[in-house]
Structure formats: C-alpha cells, structure tokens
Amino acid sequence: MKTKSIFDKFTNFIDKKLKKGSKKLEIYKEAGLIAFVGVPLPTTGLWTGSAIAAFLGLDFKKSMICMVIGGVISAAIITVFSVVISLPT
C-alpha cells in the first residue's frame, strides 16, 4: 500500500498511531499476556498466548515465564470453580 500515493496519508496516519501507542504496549505486554492466558475462556490458552507472544516479539524466556504464570492462574481458577460447584449443598 505504501507504493501508491493515494494511500500515503492513510498509511502515515496508521504509522503515527502505532508508534504513539507502542510505548504503552512495551510496558504492559507481559502483564497482558499473563492475564490473557490466565483467563479460562475458549481461545485464551497457552497455544493462543504463544502465538500472541510471537506477534509481540517477546523474548523466549519472558514468554515462557508468562505462559507458566498464566497457566497456573488458569488452572487455579478452574480448580476453585470445580471444587465450589461440586460441594454438597
């Protein structure tokens, strides 16, 4: 799209917005990844989290630590819900 002159304004606008928000992303990307993996909903697991880590360009060690922490949080949430639901009333 950058080769066409009619799209220059649009692509420059998008590039500015991406660069402006990239500092916020740098600060919160590990915490966001942990929260994304830690929420036990469909398509928010370890596989999708690792794909997001690859897109964000996270370091391998950082992404593995985030995956482990998020997986433990998700497992704990599921365990608590399972125990609470299976309690006799």
Mean pLDDT of 20-41: 83
Give the pLDDT of residue 89.
67
Instruction: Check whether 57 has a pLDDT greater than 90.
Output: no
Q: Is the pTM of this model over 0.75?
A: no
Give the pLDDT of residue 52.
86
Instruction: Kindly report the three-state secondary structure assignment for every residue of the chain.
Output: CCCCHHHHHHHHHHHHHHHHHHHHHHHHHHHHHHHHHHCCCCCCCHHHHHHHHHHHCCCHHHHHHHHHHHHHHHHHHHHHHHHHHHCCC
